[in-house]
Copies of this chain bind each other. A is one copy, B any other.
Amino acid sequence: MPKILVTRNVGPEAMKLLQATPFELIVNPEDAEPSREWVLENISDPEVVAACIMHGQPSDKVDAELLAHAGKGLKVISTFSVGFDHIDVKAANARGIKIGHTPGVLSDSVADIATMLVLMTMRRVEEGIALVKSGGWPHLPWAPFVMCGPGMNHPNLTIGFLGFGRISECVVDRLLAFTNKSAPPRIVYNSSRARDNQAEIDAKFSQRWGVDVQRVEKDTLAEQADIVIVLCALTPETTDAVDAAFLKKMKKTAVLVNAARGPIVNSEDLNAALDAGELFGAGLDVITGEPHIAPDHPLVLNKRCVVIPHMGSADYDTRNAMADLCVRNAIAGAEGKALPAEVKV
């Protein structure tokens, strides 16, 4: 009897889909990360044809060790995530194992968090919360401009994106509901390289939103943007894309939001730039070294920086949709069919 391995309960709805198949299920009995040994032992079962794995569980790392243990029948590994930096895709493919992931379904959810972080950062909410919690509110001398930040309704803002995929487009949809109607913003973005038909692409974007949209070089983006939003994939090229040189070029009144992957923004450089007043504030859903972030991490202590624990896709509908796609990738692969969402590298 062919089997599907599930390294973590994926919720009642997606589990029902699995139970409705003819496949036997091997499910981690605990609602906790299994041991690496449990994963390696079960994936070596020659009857296991598909495996649902997690991004957030180090036990599920798909490396040479895991692939060496994989049974001969294994056809697909399906990760509960859009990112696949925990999977050696090439090595898996070389062994004839397809990799499934969950793109698309979390765009809205991550765009919500990115937009929220823009608002929180411009309006100094980290500082505001800290003031209340420290008992400082009663002693805050009221004044016309106390605790003020730049506003979203400011005329002719420039909004910059590092990476301009589907999530960035969703963020544009949202931010345009906040920005000044009579003096609308301009959108600039940087993507890995300019296309041959770049002007045509940008004209289409501009028409779609009714505001000027333009691909620019990274330095131009740093210099011009009032809001910088990082939403590119983590690659060797994008690692430290936001470094001391980038930050130094930013406007003193500008804010930075990272809702992609931690290492795209250099933490030491960001902290130094915030302390030097080179930018107004930063909002991070992700940070290098997560989740091993100590409470005395300089960016956690920095009052112009808000750090939240990678909650971009953490809403019930989104996680259910991810579970659904993860399970459908596994079932399709187990049945020898094309995956609804296969990672192609």
Interface set of A (CB-CB < 8 Å, partner B): 8-11, 31-33, 54, 56-57, 80, 108-109, 112-113, 115-116, 119-120, 122-126, 128-129, 131-135, 137-138, 140-154, 173-174, 176-178, 290-295, 300, 306-309, 311, 314-319, 322-323
Does A57 contact B149, Cβ atoms closer than 8 Å?
Answer: no
In whole Å, how far is A82's beta carbon from the nearest beta carbon of chain B? 14
Most buried by B among A128, A308, A317: A308
Does A323 contact B144, Cβ atoms closer than 8 Å?
Answer: yes
Does A112 contact B151, Cβ atoms closer than 8 Å?
Answer: yes
19 A-B contacts, Cβ less than 8 Å apart? A54-B142, A56-B142, A80-B144, A108-B152, A108-B153, A108-B178, A115-B119, A120-B120, A131-B309, A132-B308, A133-B300, A138-B294, A147-B311, A148-B314, A148-B319, A151-B316, A153-B315, A153-B318, A173-B177
Q: Which residues of the partner chain B approach A147 to less than 8 Å between Cβ atoms?
A: 309, 311, 314
Copies, count? 2
A183–B21 Cα distance when bound, in Å, is: 30
Does A142 contact B57, Cβ atoms closer than 8 Å?
Answer: yes
Q: Which residues of the partner chain B approach A11 to less than 8 Å between Cβ atoms?
A: 144-145
* Chain B residue nearest to A316 in the complex (CB): B148
* Chain B residue nearest to A326 in the complex (CB): B144
Q: Which residues of the partner chain B approach A116 to less than 8 Å between Cβ atoms?
A: 116, 119-120, 123, 125
Does B315 contact A122, Cβ atoms closer than 8 Å?
Answer: yes
A143-B31, A176-B177, A308-B128 given; A291·B138 CB < 8 A? yes
Does B141 contact A32, Cβ atoms closer than 8 Å?
Answer: yes
Nearest 10 CB-CB pairings of A with B: A151-B315, A56-B142, A177-B177, A116-B119, A135-B295, A128-B308, A108-B153, A137-B291, A174-B177, A151-B317
Q: Which residues of the partner chain B approach A134 to less than 8 Å between Cβ atoms?
A: 295
